[in-house]
Every structure is written in structure tokens, then in C-alpha cells.
């Protein structure tokens, strides 16, 4: 299943080409906006533009899916809300990869990785490795 890429969300779906997570940000008040909207939800400014984020976050909530909804997603896998470090309440619905589903914990530090499918780069998250 592929997302519909538009001029309003291309920064999000194509940003992974260079490994960078991008979201819209209000150029007036600095609020990040996701999902993308033409106007800032905080100050109503129309001056919004894509900006790079660190790609870091924490698992806010998660569940382990045991049912095969799609042919290319064999269970079990983790569906999670990841809260990005840049802004309280800025969350992405995503999958956690790179560890056993039972190892995922609320509050776990994660970082973005991208699954490439044609011209779309889907942001996924994996546990942060300490080096």
C-alpha cells in the first residue's frame, strides 16, 4: 500500500532519500505540524515550510500486532506512537524495527530509519544504540 504523494506532503515521503525526517514547521511561531496542514494550528499563519528534524524520539505508546493485514508485513510487528524530541505532543504513527517486538517499551529512545519503496521513503524507528 502506497501513500498518495502531493505537493503538501512530498517533503515527508521523499525526505528519507537523504536519511532526513522532515515535517512542516510554522515560520512565525515555530510549531511543527503533523499531519501537514496549510496553516499553523497554533497561530494560524500560512507561513509553513518543511524543516529537518533530528529523527530522535521516544515510544509514547505501542502494541504488538499478531494479525497479517498486509501480505508484506508478517506478524508479529510493533505499531507505535513515537513522540519526537523537538516538540511535546509531536507524534508519528509508525512501526518499530530492529528489535524483538517484546523488547519494545514505552519511553524507549528510538531513531528514524527509512523503508524505501519506489519513490517513497516510509519513516520507521529503531532503538537507539549506545556507542
Q: Within a domain: residue 108?
A: yes
In a domain, 114, yes or no: yes
Q: Which three cell numbers stand for residue 11?
A: 517533503
**Residue percentage of the chain with pLDDT more than 70:** 98
pLDDT averaged per 10 residues in sequence order, the chain, 131 residues: 88 94 98 95 97 98 94 92 98 97 98 94 93 60
Task: Please report the pLDDT score of residue 130 as a whole number.
Answer: 67
The pLDDT score that the predictor gives to residue 1 is 66
Residue 4 lies in a domain: no
CA distance to 40, 66, 83, per residue, from 13 (Å) = 20, 27, 18
Query: If 0-12 CB within 10 Å is exposed, 13-18 middle and 19+ buried, where does residue 18 land?
Result: exposed
The domain in which residue 82 lies consists of: 10-127
What is the pLDDT at residue 131? 60
In sequence order, what are the residues at sequence separation of 6 or more whose Cβ sits closer than 8 angstroms to the Cβ of residue 3? 9, 13, 120
Q: What is the pTM of this model?
A: 0.92
Whole-number pLDDT of residue 102: 97
Classified as helix, coil or strand, 53 is coil
Adjacent-strand bridge partners of 80: 62, 94
Domain assignment present for residue 116? The answer is yes
> What does the pLDDT read at residue 69?
87
pLDDT for res 29: 98
User: How many independent structural domains does the chain possess?
Assistant: 1
Task: Give pLDDT, residue 120.
Answer: 95
Amino acid at each position: 500500500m502506497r501513500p498518495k504523494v502531493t505537493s503538501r506532503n512530498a517533503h515527508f515521503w521523499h525526505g528519507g532519500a537523504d536519511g532526513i525526517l522532515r515535517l512542516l514547521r510554522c515560520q512565525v511561531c515555530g510549531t511543527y505540524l503533523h499531519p501537514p496542514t496549510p496553516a499553523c494550528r497554533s497561530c494560524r499563519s500560512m507561513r509553513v515550510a518543511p524543516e529537518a528534524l533530528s529523527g530522535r524520539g521516544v515510544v509514547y505508546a505501542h502494541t504488538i500486532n499478531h494479525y497479517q493485514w498486509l501480505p508484506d508485513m508478517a506478524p508479529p510487528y510493533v505499531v507505535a506512537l513515537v513522540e519526537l524530541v523537538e516538540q511535546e505532543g509531536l507524534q508519528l504513527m509508525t512501526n518499530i524495527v530492529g528489535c524483538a517486538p517484546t523488547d519494545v517499551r514505552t519511553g524507549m529512545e528510538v531513531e528514524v530509519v527509512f523503508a524505501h519503496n519506489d519513490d517513497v521513503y516510509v519513516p520507521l524507528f529503531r532503538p537507539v544504540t549506545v556507542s
